Amino acid sequence: MSLILNSKKNSLIVHVGGDFDLVSANEFREKIDQSLEETLCQNLLLDLAKATFIDSSGLGVILGRFRKIKANDGQMIIYGPKPAIKKVFEVSGILSLMPVCNTEEEAWKILEKKTFKGA
């Protein structure tokens, strides 16, 4: 499992690699929250292109961050999940809460549109 964090244009970009389960969830939650505080980013882009697995522990982290971002009037967008992970998203109902798209480029487009509408 791996976690890479970058920030750009008021957005924290989180690249998750490997299995997003109980063990990685605890670590990722802490690191993402710490980074959100340090960078003061309002939005969160979650890159799951290199994520190989997710279960309810990973989803819990995603939903928890979503609530934080929303409370701060930001946007959260997920991109790149492989079909098996998308299936988990479908069952969980998360797709009605935040956009899930294929590439980072698409994510930025959605973000710009949403930020513009919200302004």
Partner 1 sequence: MDKIVNNKIKLEFLSKGENVALARITIAALVSQLELTLNDLEEIKVAVSEAVSNAIIHGYRNQPEGIVTLIGILAEETIYLEIIDQGIGISDIEKAMEPAYSTDPERTGLGFVFMQSFMDEVKVESKVNSGTKVSLTKKINTENKNRAVS
Ligand X SMILES: Nc1ncnc2c1ncn2[C@@H]1O[C@H](COP(=O)(O)OP(=O)(O)OP(=O)(O)O)[C@@H](O)[C@H]1O
Is there binding between residue 49 and partner 1 (CB under 8 A)?
A: no
Q: What are φ and ψ of residue 7, in 5° steps?
A: -130, 145
Neighbour-count burial for 11-48, b at 16+ CB within 10 Å, e otherwise: bbbbbbbebbeeebbeebbeebeebbeeeebbbbbbbb
Pick one of 2, 34, 56, 103: the residue that binds ligand X (CB under 6 A). 56
Complex with ligand X: residue 68 or 114, whichever CB lies closer: 68
Is there binding between residue 63 and partner 1 (CB under 8 A)?
A: yes
Is there binding between residue 4 and partner 1 (CB under 8 A)?
A: no
Smallest gap, in angstroms, from Cβ of residue 32 to partner 1? 14
